[in-house]
């Protein structure tokens, strides 16, 4: 066994091909397949544990019933004779002897009895393609089909069915048509009627089939069941009020992936499996694109009514074969690319996905820079060098290397190699120049590896050649060609002396100085990749079976290695970290394994250098500027909102203070009136209590007398009743004796009748037995006839089936030909689709900008909605007060029904009040005109503001230009300073030769030739002085202009602010005046109603001579014309006070009249209104 041990730490991947691929171990732990293992994963703590499993072949039509404790089969049965595909098999949760099987045209229930599996149900009607099923109870099974139908079977009989409609409307017909045609050829719908044979009907049926949602997964829970409803949709069904029926209660969708080049593709993946947690708090699903999604059911129930969305269980993972994998030195990062058109950056320390981006082309190769800040990716059309920013992977440079299947950065990161067919291009990672092109391979280059010192490069290819290149001159230093082997991977030792190569000949070759030192056999397994540790003591190899082998160097000849079950497909890439602590592997199954490397005792290998990982990230200047600009805008916006809020709060405080004062005054008046009423009611209460006590005493006396009378009468009645009872008892004794005699006679009669009936029915029974024997003979003859007819019908049906089979085979050949035709059309449609996709991306960017604007507007709308709610509350309060007033008006109208004769007096009063209101309305109109003028002034100020902003922007542009010139001059100054420094150093060296005249002279001549040019000798002094003067003059001029402009801007800003404040204050005062006028209007209207009531009472008092002396002469003042509005209001208030006193007196009189109410025997006194009406009639 090898000393080197690798332990699996974490896996990024999922196997959607496994049936029932997710399940809950408990509330927080789930189990799912990944690679060639099952993974136990904790949802909260994010840890993983691995369970090794064996891989099996595709499902067969045989159903085997196992006793797993004893490891033996109990029964085997052939489910389908035609070998149609089976999709799901499950046990009954309450009864493990019952099994359900669903497949193409198969829905069968089996029960294990007497050592065999027996079918307990038989389908009726047309067979369906049953994709999934779930047990709801011991007898009920819910089944889903590929046509969107759900069936509920109870004990094998159909009880309920429903159809699911497609939830999304397909708008892009061009996109969907090729898919529909291809589906119609793959799964041709079985049709029973031989008459329909045209191609048009088949195409329409295929299109309908494509639009119907597939119910590919079903799971039961306590309230009902959950099922898939087409791509990206899961529906929850709950028990309905109907008998054995279910209704759709919730729709849950897979969210769109914003990192994808087409976000709509994420919700077009079919749901493969659904699982509920034991407490039914969590819903988990898996999809065809190897993704796992999670939903908290409690959170979804809170937001009921809205469409719920799933979340990723951890992070999005690869859904296709991984083609590239690489690590870096400075960071704990792993970069991967895949045929799913994505590039992902993983962190193997935290087991997280740091960056992720999808592209329009497939990525074939990848290399990560040692710094971890750049990544090199080979696409079909070009090679791209990309920056790893803080939140994006952005292309920096494109290289014209088509179909690059292999690329690698050098150990130092200053060079990188890119493979194009059989040529290796060496580029500089600093200047991006193509330094060398390495040509020599006759076949495609499959792998390259750099030496630790970056002086050598090793390559291998399908032509069986392994070359070692010298990068100083671009020549081959050594070569080893073996044409019978097609190499897959190559590695080089840290000292660059030994090359390791693996290929199709099932061996590892150790090559040194163009010769194969030795070949280590792989024992009937092809190695696909090899990697050597940086220490040179460990060798790891990946196999075509998906296993990983660890060996110690020097390589063992015998089976001295550790083999680990890892992937479910051939290993594509392997990489070991710079500190030899972790091994990372990827394969065609789309999974990434992280391995911890140990020695045999279990101790981790020590790092040679203890260098901490760097935390630096890249960010572009434009992103930084945008973020700072957004922050500044938000700060200014916050300040503006603070000012606005303070101003609004002040206004509201003023309004609320006024309202509070008014309300307090009203409540004080009402409290005083209520106190007076309370005192009056207390006095009435005392009087009524005294009256009630007198009445109670009278009633008690009456009751005592009545009780005595009743006792005497009841005693007499009791004596009479006792005499009657004795008479009745004598009668009952006589009656009993008579009935006993009659019963004895009846029994004798009954016995005689029974004997006669038994004789009659025995004779009848004999007749019926003879008839039954005759009927049995007839049934036997009919059964023989039925069996003969059945045989004839079966023979006829077999002949018809053969005819239909030949017919549909001919139709299938025709459809295949049309498929080839349509494939050509799909190419054209794809080109159209790509152009449309570009247009869609442009529209998406516009939509995002519009969404940002929408969010801003929504914030404004929310603030306005809050104000509206406050105003609505005020309106409600006012409506309540109006309702109270209307109740009072209604009561007064009842009292004033008889006083309609005096309406002409009230009309006259109303006319007078209208004359008083008209001048107020004229004032309001004048105020409105004034407001309009002020709004015009506001618009003018806004125009002036915009003009000032334009001037400021022009000045800013000028400032930027001066800044650029200033930077240029500063650069010139720096250059001159550097020149002076160089001159000083040369002069200092020259002074050192002062003792040697000849050398001194030569050095002075060299300095002169170096620093003094012939053309500049004459003009250099004059030009420099003129330039400096011109520069200083222009600078002073610009500074003066800038200072004056700043002053102007400040002054205009202050003037504008003062005008704005003045206009706002005038607006506030006008709004207050308008509110006061409205309040006065309401008051005047109430006064009109009060005057109407007072006039009616006055007329009533005139007709009552007894009460004519009570009111004062001031009650006739309303008929006088009003000259002054203040005097008028005072008079109205006095009139209302008199009216209130009069009404209070009248209420007291009514209460007294009620207190002195006569007994039920006497008549009620006539009301005053009745007396007056009676007097008028007389």
pLDDT digits (tens, 9 = 90+) for 357-383: 999 899 999 999 999 999 999 998 899
Q: What is the mean pLDDT of residues 602-628?
A: 75
Does the pLDDT at position 742 exceed 90?
no
Rounded CA gap, 1 and 415, in Å? 39
pLDDT greater at residue 327 or residue 779: 327
Q: What is the mean pLDDT of residues 209-222?
A: 82
Pair of tokens at residue 177:
């048509």
Phi, psi of 211 (to 5 degrees): -80, -15
Q: Name the packing angle between helices 173-186 and 199-211 (round to 10°).
A: 110
Which of the listed ranges 442-446, 724-728, 856-860 does the model predict with the highest average pLDDT?
442-446
Q: Determine the pLDDT at residue 757.
A: 81
CA nearest neighbour of 12 among 471, 265, 482, 346: 346
Does the pLDDT at position 306 exceed 80?
no
Contacts of 1111 (CB under 8 A, 6+ apart): 1098, 1101, 1138, 1142
Does the pLDDT at position 206 exceed 50?
no
Lowest-pLDDT choice from 277-281, 913-917, 1042-1046: 913-917
pLDDT tens, residue by residue, 890-925: 888 777 776 776 677 777 778 888 887 878 788 888
**Whole-number average pLDDT of the chain:** 82
Q: Determine the pLDDT at residue 194.
A: 35
pLDDT greater at residue 244 or residue 911: 911
Q: Determine the pLDDT at residue 835.
A: 83
Q: How confident is the model at residue 190 (pLDDT cuts 50, 70, 90)?
A: very low
Does the pLDDT at position 697 exceed 90?
no
pLDDT tens, residue by residue, 39-91: 999 988 888 988 876 555 555 677 888 777 777 778 888 887 777 888 889 99
Q: How confident is the model at residue 570 (pLDDT cuts 50, 70, 90)?
A: very high
pLDDT tens, residue by residue, 637-662: 999 999 999 999 999 999 999 999 99
CB 449 within 8 A of CB 443: no
In our burial notation (b when 16+ CB lie closer than 10 A, e otherwise), range 1089-1120 reads ebbbbbbbbbebbeeeeeeeeebeeebeebee
Q: Determine the pLDDT at residue 366.
A: 94
Q: How confident is the model at residue 173 (pLDDT cuts 50, 70, 90)?
A: very low
Q: What is the mean pLDDT of residues 746-750?
A: 80
Q: What is the mean pLDDT of residues 571-588?
A: 93
Q: Determine the pLDDT at residue 582.
A: 93
Q: Determine the pLDDT at residue 56.
A: 55
Q: What is the mean pLDDT of residues 957-977?
A: 89
Q: How confident is the model at residue 1171 (pLDDT cuts 50, 70, 90)?
A: very low
Q: Determine the pLDDT at residue 1127.
A: 66
Q: What is the mean pLDDT of residues 1079-1095?
A: 81
pLDDT tens, residue by residue, 78-122: 887 777 888 889 998 888 889 999 988 889 899 888 888 888 888
Q: How confident is the model at residue 596 (pLDDT cuts 50, 70, 90)?
A: very high
Rounded CA gap, 702 and 710, in Å? 13
H/E segment holding residue 1116? none
Q: Determine the pLDDT at residue 444.
A: 92
* 433-438 contacts at long range (C-beta below 8 A, 24 or more positions apart): 436/471, 436/474, 437/474, 438/467, 438/469, 438/474
CB 1119 within 8 A of CB 1126: no
As a whole number of angstroms, the longest Cα–Cα distance in the chain is 178
Q: How confident is the model at residue 1129 (pLDDT cuts 50, 70, 90)?
A: low
Phi, psi of 977 (to 5 degrees): -60, -40
Q: Determine the pLDDT at residue 55.
A: 54
Which of the listed ranges 513-522, 587-596, 853-862 does the model predict with the highest average pLDDT?
587-596
Rounded CA gap, 644 and 650, in Å? 10
3-state secondary structure of 616: coil
Q: Per the confidence metrics, is the pTM higher than 0.95?
A: no
Q: Determine the pLDDT at residue 685.
A: 87
Q: Determine the pLDDT at residue 1153.
A: 62
Q: Is 849 exposed, middle or buried (0-12, 13-18, 19+ CB in 10 A)?
A: exposed
Which residues are 551's β-sheet partners?
A: 539
**Dihedral angle computed from the Cα positions of residues 558, 562, 563 and 564, in that order, rounded to the nearest 10 degrees:** 180
**Any alpha helices (H) in 187-307, and if so which ranges?**
199-211, 297-302
pLDDT greater at residue 949 or residue 576: 576
Rounded CA gap, 302 and 1147, in Å? 58
Q: How confident is the model at residue 949 (pLDDT cuts 50, 70, 90)?
A: confident
DSSP state of 1107: G
Pair of tokens at residue 944:
């002036």
Q: What is the mean pLDDT of residues 1051-1066?
A: 82
Q: Determine the pLDDT at residue 805.
A: 82
Does the pLDDT at position 1022 exceed 70?
no
pLDDT tens, residue by residue, 408-440: 999 999 999 999 999 999 999 999 999 999 999
Q: End-to-end distance of the chain based on CA atoms, in angstroms? A: 135
Does the pLDDT at position 1169 exceed 70?
no
Rounded CA gap, 346 and 325, in Å? 10
Rounded CA gap, 582 and 585, in Å? 10
Q: Is the peptide bond between 554 and the residue preceding it cis, with omega within 30 degrees of 0? A: yes
pLDDT tens, residue by residue, 460-484: 999 999 999 998 888 899 999 988 8
Q: How confident is the model at residue 737 (pLDDT cuts 50, 70, 90)?
A: confident
CB 541 within 8 A of CB 529: yes
- Determine the distance from the C-alpha atom of residue 978 to the mean position of all C-alpha atoms in its chain, rounded to a whole number: 61
Q: Determine the pLDDT at residue 559.
A: 80
Tell me how crowded residue 466 is: count the other CB atoms within 10 A of its CB. Answer: 26
Percent of the chain topping pLDDT 70: 86
Does the pLDDT at position 1159 exceed 70?
no
pLDDT tens, residue by residue, 148-163: 899 998 888 888 888 8
Does the pLDDT at position 1020 exceed 80?
no
CB 585 within 8 A of CB 566: yes
Percent of the chain topping pLDDT 90: 25
């Amino acid at each position: 066994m090898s000393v080197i041990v690798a332990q699996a730490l974490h896996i990024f991947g999922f196997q959607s091909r496994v049936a029932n691929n997710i399940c809950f171990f408990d509330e927080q732990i789930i189990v799912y397949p990944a690679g060639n293992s099952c993974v136990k994963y904790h949802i909260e703590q994010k840890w993983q544990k691995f369970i090794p499993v064996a891989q099996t072949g595709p499902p067969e039509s045989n159903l085997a019933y196992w006793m797993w404790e004893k490891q033996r089969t109990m029964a085997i049965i052939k489910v389908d004779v035609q070998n149609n595909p089976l999709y799901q098999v499950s046990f009954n949760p309450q009864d493990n002897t019952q099994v359900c099987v669903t497949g193409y045209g198969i829905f069968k229930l089996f029960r294990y009895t007497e050592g065999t599996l027996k079918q307990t149900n038989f389908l009726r009607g047309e067979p369906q393609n049953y994709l999934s099923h779930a047990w709801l109870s011991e007898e009920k099974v819910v089944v889903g089909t590929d046509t969107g139908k759900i069936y509920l079977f109870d004990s094998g009989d159909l009880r309920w069915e429903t159809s699911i409609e497609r939830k999304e409307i397909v708008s892009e017909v061009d996109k969907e048509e090729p898919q529909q045609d291809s589906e119609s050829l793959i799964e041709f719908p079985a049709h029973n009627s031989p008459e329909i044979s045209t191609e048009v009907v088949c195409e329409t049926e295929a299109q309908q089939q494509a639009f119907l949602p597939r119910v590919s997964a079903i799971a039961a829970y306590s309230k009902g069941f959950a099922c898939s409803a087409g791509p990206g949709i899961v529906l929850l069904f709950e028990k309905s009020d109907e008998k054995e029926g279910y209704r759709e209660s919730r729709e849950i969708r897979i969210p769109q992936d914003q990192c994808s080049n087409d976000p709509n593709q994420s919700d077009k993946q079919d749901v493969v499996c659904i699982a509920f947690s034991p407490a039914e708090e969590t819903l988990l699903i898996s999809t065809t694109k190897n993704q796992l999604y999670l939903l908290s059911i409690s959170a979804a129930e809170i937001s009921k009514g809205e469409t719920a969305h799933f979340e990723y269980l951890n992070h999005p993972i690869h859904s296709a074969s991984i083609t590239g994998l690489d690590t870096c030195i400075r960071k704990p990062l792993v970069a991967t690319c895949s045929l799913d058109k994505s590039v992902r950056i993983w962190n193997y320390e935290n087991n997280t996905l740091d960056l992720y981006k999808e592209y329009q082309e497939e990525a074939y190769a990848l290399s990560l820079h040692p710094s971890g800040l750049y990544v090199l990716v080979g696409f079909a059309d070009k090679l791209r060098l990309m920056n790893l920013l803080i939140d994006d992977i952005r292309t920096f440079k494109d290289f014209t290397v088509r179909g690059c299947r292999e690329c690698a950065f050098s150990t130092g990161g200053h060079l990188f190699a890119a493979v194009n067919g059989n040529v290796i291009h060496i580029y500089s990672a600093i200047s991006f120049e193509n330094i060398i092109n390495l040509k020599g391979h006759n076949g495609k280059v499959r792998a390259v590896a750099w030496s630790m010192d970056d002086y050598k490069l090793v390559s291998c290819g399908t032509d069986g050649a392994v070359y070692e290149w010298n990068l100083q001159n671009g020549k081959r230093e050594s070569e080893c060609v073996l044409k019978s082997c097609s190499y897959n991977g190559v590695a080089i030792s840290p000292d660059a002396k030994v090359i390791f190569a693996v290929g199709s000949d099932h061996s590892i070759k150790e090559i040194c100085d163009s010769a194969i030192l030795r070949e280590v056999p792989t024992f009937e397994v092809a190695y696909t990749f090899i990697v050597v540790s940086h220490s040179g003591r460990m060798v790891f190899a990946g196999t075509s079976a998906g296993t990983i082998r660890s060996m110690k160097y020097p390589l063992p000849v015998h089976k001295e290695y550790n083999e680990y079950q890892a992937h479910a497909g051939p290993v594509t890439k392997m990489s070991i970290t710079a500190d030899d602590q972790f091994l990372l592997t990827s394969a065609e199954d789309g999974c990434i394994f992280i391995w911890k490397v140990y020695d045999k005792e279990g101790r981790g290998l020590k790092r040679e250098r203890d260098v901490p990982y760097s935390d630096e990230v890249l960010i572009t200047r434009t992103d930084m500027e945008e973020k700072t600009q957004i922050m500044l805008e938000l700060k200014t916006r916050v300040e503006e909102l603070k000012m606005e809020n303070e101003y609004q709060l002040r206004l509201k405080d003023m309004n609320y203070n006024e309202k509070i004062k008014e309300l307090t005054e009203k409540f004080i008046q009402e409290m005083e009136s209520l106190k007076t009423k309370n005192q009056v009611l207390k006095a009435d209460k005392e009087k009524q209590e005294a009256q009630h006590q007198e009445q109670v005493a009278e009633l008690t006396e009456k009751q005592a007398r009545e009780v005595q009378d009743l006792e005497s009468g009841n005693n007499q009645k009791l004596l009479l009743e006792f005499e009657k009872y004795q008479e009745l008892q004598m009668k009952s004794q006589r009656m009993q004796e008579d009935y006993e005699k009659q019963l004895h006679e009846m029994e004798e009669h009954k016995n005689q009748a029974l004997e006669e009936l038994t004789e009659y029915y025995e004779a009848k029974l004999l007749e019926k037995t003879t008839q039954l024997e005759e009927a049995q003979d007839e049934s036997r003859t009919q059964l023989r006839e039925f069996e003969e007819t059945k045989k004839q019908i079966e023979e006829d049906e077999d002949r018809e089936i053969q005819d239909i089979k030949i017919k549909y085979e001919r139709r299938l050949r025709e459809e295949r030909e049309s498929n080839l035709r349509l494939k050509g059309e799909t190419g054209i449609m794809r080109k159209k689709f790509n152009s449309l996709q570009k247009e869609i991306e442009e529209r998406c960017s516009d939509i995002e900008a519009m969404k940002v604007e929408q969010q801003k507007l929504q914030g404004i709308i929310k603030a306005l909605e809050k104000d509206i709610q406050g105003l609505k509350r005020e309106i409600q309060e006012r409506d309540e007060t109006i309702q109270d007033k209307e109740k009072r008006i209604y009561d007064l109208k009842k009292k004033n029904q008889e006083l309609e004769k005096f309406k002409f007096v009230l009309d006259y009063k109303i006319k007078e009040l209208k004359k008083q209101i008209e001048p107020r309305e004229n004032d309001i109109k004048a105020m409105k005109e004034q407001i309009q003028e002020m709004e015009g002034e506001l618009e003018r100020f806004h125009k002036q503001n915009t003009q000032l902003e334009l001037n400021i922007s022009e000045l800013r542009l000028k400032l930027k230009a001066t800044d650029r010139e200033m930077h240029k001059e500063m650069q010139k100054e720096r250059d001159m300073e550097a020149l002076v420094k160089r001159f000083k150093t040369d002069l200092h060296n020259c002074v050192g030769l002062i003792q040697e005249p000849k050398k001194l002279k030569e050095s002075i001549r060299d300095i002169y030739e170096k620093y003094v040019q012939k053309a500049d000798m004459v003009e250099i002094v004059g030009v420099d002085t003129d330039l400096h003067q011109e520069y200083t003059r222009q600078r002073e001029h610009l500074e003066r202009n800038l200072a004056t402009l700043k002053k102007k801007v400040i002054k205009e800003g202050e003037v504008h602010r003062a005008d704005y404040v003045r206009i706002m204050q005038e607006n506030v005062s006008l709004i207050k005046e308008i509110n006061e006028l409205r309040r006065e209007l309401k008051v005047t209207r109430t006064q009109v109603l009060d005057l109407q009531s007072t006039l009616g009472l006055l007329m009533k008092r005139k007709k009552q001579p007894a009460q004519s002396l009570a009111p004062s002469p001031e009650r006739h003042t309303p008929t006088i014309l009003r000259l002054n509005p203040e005097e008028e209001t005072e008079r109205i208030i006095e009139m209302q006070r008199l009216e209130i006193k009069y009404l209070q007196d009248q209420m007291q009189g009514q209460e007294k009249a009620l207190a002195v109410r006569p007994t039920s025997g006497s008549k009620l006194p006539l009301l005053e209104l009745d007396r007056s009406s009676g007097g008028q009639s007389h």
